[in-house]
Amino acid sequence: MASKIENMWAASRFVLPEQRELYLQHREDMKLVKMPELEQDELESFHYLIRDSAREDYAITITWWQPVKEDLGKTCSMWGVIKWMDQNSRRVKLVNDEESRWIQMDAIIEVIP
């Protein structure tokens, strides 16, 4: 008799695809973070490392914040060499062996040499 009750509870745990999708979306939303606020001296050191990477042609790792929902977003990271700096649009082109990407200067939150 106990096995029938256990099976009844197991059968009632069916989840609709819509419920599963909402649950997974909620789990993804919990991973989102606000853009960190940086001090002026941190920004200056980032800019110095970026200019130096472009001038001396050495690789750096850049971490930036990418907006997803309103004021929440996720952090992305990529290593490479700065090949181009666009002063008008305030962005840099980071290039490595696999890909190249334009990154907004205002979104950069960390630069590691």
What are the mean pLDDT values of the chain's consecutive 10-residue runs (113 residues total)? 53 76 89 91 93 92 93 94 93 95 95 93
Instruction: Give CA–CA dist 41/6, Å, rounded.
Output: 62
pLDDT of residue 79: 96
Beta strands in 1-113 (DSSP E): 33-34, 60-69, 72-86, 91-95, 100-104, 108-112
Q: Which residues contact 52 (CB under 8 A, 6 or more apart)?
A: 58
Pick the CATH number of 34-112 from 1.10.3720.10, 3.40.710.10, 2.30.30.100, 3.40.50.150: 2.30.30.100
What's the alpha-carbon Rg for the chain, to the nearest Å?
Answer: 22
What value, to the nearest 5°, has the Cα angle with vertex 111 and ends 106 and 113? Answer: 150
User: Model-level pTM?
Assistant: 0.76
pLDDT of residue 14: 75
| Domain residue spans of the chain | 34-112
H/E stretch holding 49 = helix 40-56
Tokens of 71: 């004021």
Tokens of 39: 């001090």
Let me know how long the chain is: 113
